[in-house]
Amino acid sequence: MMFIFRLMVRDFRSGDLLTLLAALVISVGTVTSIGLFIDRLQLSFEEQSANLLAADRLVRSDENIPLDWIQKADDLSLEQAQRTSFTTMMFAKDSLQLAQISAVTDSYPLRGAYLVDQTLFGQGQQWTQPPAVGDVWLSSRLASMLGVSIGDQVEIGEAEFNVSKFLVRDPGSTTSAFAISPRAVINHKDLAKTQVIIPGSRVRYSLLLAGNREALQEYGDWLAPQLVDGQRWRTPSQSSERVGNTISRAESFLLLAGTLAVVMSGIAMALASARFVKRHLMQVAILKTIGATPKFLSWAFLQQLSLLFCVGTLIGLAIGWGIQEIIASLLSGLMSTELPPPSINRLWLGVATGLVSMLAFCLPLVMRLIKISPLSVLQPSAKIEQNTAIIYGLGFAGMYALMCIYTKGFLLPSVMTLSIVGIGLIVGLIGVGAFKLGRRLTSGATSGWQIGLASLYRRLMPNLFQLLVFTLIIMLTLILIGVQSSLISDWQKQLPEDAPNHYIFNVQSNQIDAINQTSQALQIPHSDWYPMVRGRVIKINDENVDDLYPEGRNEPELVDRELNLTWSDQLGQGNTLLEGDFSAEGLSIEQRVAQEVGVSIGDTLTINIGGNIITLPITSVREVDWGTMQPNFYLILPKQALQDYPANFVSSLFVDDDKAQNFYKGMSNYPTVSILNVGDILKQIQTIIGQLSQAIQLVLLCILCAGGLVLLASVRSTLEERLEEGALLRVLGAKSSLVRQSIFVEFGALGFFSGVISALGAELCLYGLQVYVFNTQANWHPSLWLFGPLIGVCVILTIGVFASRKVLNVPPMHLLRDL
Partner 1 sequence: MSNRTAIKVSNLTHTVTSNTGNLTILKGINMEILESQSVAIVGASGSGKSTLLGLLAGLDINTSGDIFVYDQAFSALSEEKRAIIRGQYVGFVFQSFHLLPSLQAIENVMLPAELKGDKDARQKAEALLQKVGLSHRLTHYPNQLSGGEQQRVAIARAFASQPKILFADEPTGNLDEENGKLIIDLLFDLNQSQGTTLVMVTHDNELAKLCDRQLIMSSGQLTEKSL
Minimum Å gap between C-beta 436 and partner 1 is 21
10 binds partner 1 (CB under 8 A): yes
C-beta neighbour count of 589 within 10 angstroms: 27
386 binds partner 1 (CB under 8 A): no
817 binds partner 1 (CB under 8 A): yes
Adjacent-strand bridge partners of 652 = 503
Minimum Å gap between C-beta 283 and partner 1 is 5
149 binds partner 1 (CB under 8 A): no
Minimum Å gap between C-beta 385 and partner 1 is 11
Helical residues (DSSP H) of 612-735, grouped into ranges: 639-642, 657-667, 679-717, 719-731
16 binds partner 1 (CB under 8 A): yes
With CB under 8 A as the contact rule, which of the stretches 30-38, 375-383, 476-484, 640-648 interacts with partner 1?
375-383
Minimum Å gap between C-beta 375 and partner 1 is 4
- CA angle 780-782-785, nearest 5°? 120
Minimum Å gap between C-beta 475 and partner 1 is 36
Q: What is the dihedral of CA 665, 671, 674, 680, to 10 degrees?
A: 30
What is the rounded CA–CA span in Å between residue 414 and residue 396?
11
Query: 750, 467 in Cβ contact below 8 A?
Result: yes
What is the rounded CA–CA span in Å between residue 141 and residue 180?
12
Site for partner 1 in 287-326 (CB under 8 A): 287-296
683 binds partner 1 (CB under 8 A): no
Residue in 550, 542, 538, 504 with CA at minimum distance from that of residue 610: 538
Interface residue with partner 1 among 228, 286, 514, 701 (CB under 8 A) is: 286
- CA angle 475-480-482, nearest 5°? 90
With CB under 8 A as the contact rule, which of the stretches 286-294, 533-541, 691-699, 704-712 interacts with partner 1?
286-294
For residue 102, what is the enclosing H or E element?
strand 95-104
Minimum Å gap between C-beta 7 and partner 1 is 8
Cis peptide preceding 109, ω within 30 of 0: yes
Interface residue with partner 1 among 228, 378, 521, 577 (CB under 8 A) is: 378
With CB under 8 A as the contact rule, which of the stretches 7-15, 63-71, 124-132, 468-476 interacts with partner 1?
7-15
809 binds partner 1 (CB under 8 A): no
With CB under 8 A as the contact rule, which of the stretches 374-382, 433-441, 734-742, 798-806 interacts with partner 1?
374-382
Residue in 396, 521, 465 with CA at minimum distance from that of residue 714: 465
Interface residue with partner 1 among 157, 374, 424, 617 (CB under 8 A) is: 374
With CB under 8 A as the contact rule, which of the stretches 370-378, 392-400, 538-546, 585-593 interacts with partner 1?
370-378
Minimum Å gap between C-beta 9 and partner 1 is 10
Q: How far is CA 690 from the centre of its chain?
A: 14
Residue closer to partner 1 by CB (options 248, 298) is 298
User: Per-residue x/- mask for partner 1, residues 762 to 791, rule CB under 8 A?
Assistant: ------------------------------
What is the rounded CA–CA span in Å between residue 344 and residue 30?
16
Query: 266, 707 in Cβ contact below 8 A?
Result: no
Minimum Å gap between C-beta 376 and partner 1 is 9
Interface residue with partner 1 among 98, 302, 318, 377 (CB under 8 A) is: 377
Residue closer to partner 1 by CB (options 183, 280) is 280
Side chain identity at residue 196, one-letter code: V
Residue in 504, 765, 472 with CA at minimum distance from that of residue 649: 504
Minimum Å gap between C-beta 303 and partner 1 is 15
How many residues in total does the chain contain? Answer: 819
Residue closer to partner 1 by CB (options 10, 493) is 10
With CB under 8 A as the contact rule, which of the stretches 233-241, 282-290, 609-617, 747-755 interacts with partner 1?
282-290
387 binds partner 1 (CB under 8 A): no
Task: For residue 319, give every residue at least 6 positions away whose Cβ sits within 8 Å of its Cβ, in sequence order, or none.
Answer: 25, 28, 29, 32, 33
383 binds partner 1 (CB under 8 A): no
Query: 499, 629 in Cβ contact below 8 A?
Result: yes
For residue 760, what is the enclosing H or E element?
helix 736-768
What is the rounded CA–CA span in Å between residue 674 and residue 661?
16
11 binds partner 1 (CB under 8 A): yes
b/e code 192-213 from CB counts within 10 Å (16+ = b): eebebbeeeeebbbbbbbbbee
With CB under 8 A as the contact rule, which of the stretches 367-375, 693-701, 749-757, 796-804 interacts with partner 1?
367-375
Q: Could you tell me how many helices (H) and strands (E) the chain has, helices first?
A: 27, 22
Residue closer to partner 1 by CB (options 370, 745) is 370
CB burial of residue 733 (10 Å; 0-12, 13-18, 19+): exposed
b/e code 655-694 from CB counts within 10 Å (16+ = b): beeebbeebbebbbebeebbbbbbbbbbebbbebbbbbbb
250 binds partner 1 (CB under 8 A): no
The alpha-carbon radius of gyration of the chain (Å, integer) is: 34
With CB under 8 A as the contact rule, which of the stretches 5-13, 59-67, 425-433, 570-578 interacts with partner 1?
5-13
Residue closer to partner 1 by CB (options 378, 701) is 378
Minimum Å gap between C-beta 731 and partner 1 is 17
Residue closer to partner 1 by CB (options 374, 424) is 374
Residue closer to partner 1 by CB (options 200, 291) is 291
Residue in 447, 423, 432, 288 with CA at minimum distance from that of residue 369: 288
Query: 123, 166 in Cβ contact below 8 A?
Result: no
With CB under 8 A as the contact rule, which of the stretches 368-376, 388-396, 477-485, 774-782 interacts with partner 1?
368-376
- CA angle 278-283-287, nearest 5°? 145
What is the rounded CA–CA span in Å between residue 185 and residue 201?
18
With CB under 8 A as the contact rule, which of the stretches 3-11, 90-98, 265-273, 327-335 interacts with partner 1?
3-11
Residue closer to partner 1 by CB (options 10, 683) is 10
If phi > 0 it is left, if psi is from -120 to 50 it is alpha, else beta; for residue 234 that is beta
Q: How far is CA 708 from CA 179, 390, 703, in A?
A: 54, 29, 9
14 binds partner 1 (CB under 8 A): yes
Q: How many CA atoms lie within 13 A of 741 on its CB side?
A: 13
Side chain identity at residue 351, one-letter code: V
With CB under 8 A as the contact rule, which of the stretches 71-79, 285-293, 412-420, 446-454 interacts with partner 1?
285-293
- CA angle 393-274-751, nearest 5°? 95
With CB under 8 A as the contact rule, which of the stretches 114-122, 252-260, 373-381, 612-620 interacts with partner 1?
373-381
Minimum Å gap between C-beta 16 and partner 1 is 7
282 binds partner 1 (CB under 8 A): yes
Minimum Å gap between C-beta 380 and partner 1 is 9
User: β-strand 95-104 against 183-187: which pairing, if any?
Assistant: parallel
Interface residue with partner 1 among 338, 562, 585, 818 (CB under 8 A) is: 818
Give the count of residues interacting with partner 1 (CB under 8 A).
28
Residue closer to partner 1 by CB (options 440, 814) is 814
Q: Which residues bind partner 1 (CB under 8 A)?
A: 3, 6, 10-11, 13-14, 16, 282-283, 286-296, 373-375, 377-379, 817-818
